[in-house]
Amino acid sequence: MAAKKAEQALVEQWRDMLALHARTQCELDRALHQHGVCASDFEVLDVLADGRRATGGGCSYRVQEIAERVHLSQSALSRLIARLEKDGLVERALCPEDRRGVRVALTAKGRTLHGEALPVQRAVLTRMLTAD
């Protein structure tokens, strides 16, 4: 009986996490809409901007490296990157070290948009994920 209660508590905890994630994702989508991006778009921009801050300059990531950080399938991420590229926010180039790979980097327009949307995203995360 105790094992069954522990199992049920674990399932409830999991469902609470999923619900918090869904609510937060919806709030991010709503808030970031004013900047013309959704939460997934912003995540890619943020990953690219993090790399840029870490290296102190230009930085690009292989698509596979971005996929590991944003938790999207390879095909979904490829479509998202194509859309961001069409909007002028990122640029793609072949990897010099592996001609089969593609590297992605922020454009100046992407850096500007990221800078404008960053406080909005962080405010939503603070509101949604900080305990009262």
Burial 79-93 (b: 16+ CB within 10 A, else e): ebbeebeeeebbeee
pLDDT digit string, tens, across residues 52-104: 544 444 578 888 899 999 989 889 999 999 999 999 999 998 877 777 778 99
- What is the reported pLDDT for 58? 58
- What is the reported pLDDT for 54? 47
At the topology level, CATH places domain 2-129 in: Arc Repressor Mutant, subunit A (1.10.10)
Q: Residue ranges per domain, the chain?
A: 2-129
- What is the reported pLDDT for 131? 67
Residue with the larger pLDDT of the pair 57 and 40: 40
For 4, the token pair is 């069954």
pTM to 2 decimals? Answer: 0.85
Q: Which alpha helices (DSSP H) does 56-107 contain, by range?
A: 63-70, 74-86
40: pLDDT confidence band, cut at 50, 70 and 90? very high
The answer to whether 68 touches 10, Cβ cutoff 8 Å, is: no
Q: What is the mean pLDDT of residues 108-122?
A: 97
The answer to whether 93 touches 80, Cβ cutoff 8 Å, is: no
pLDDT digit string, tens, across residues 119-132: 999 999 999 999 66
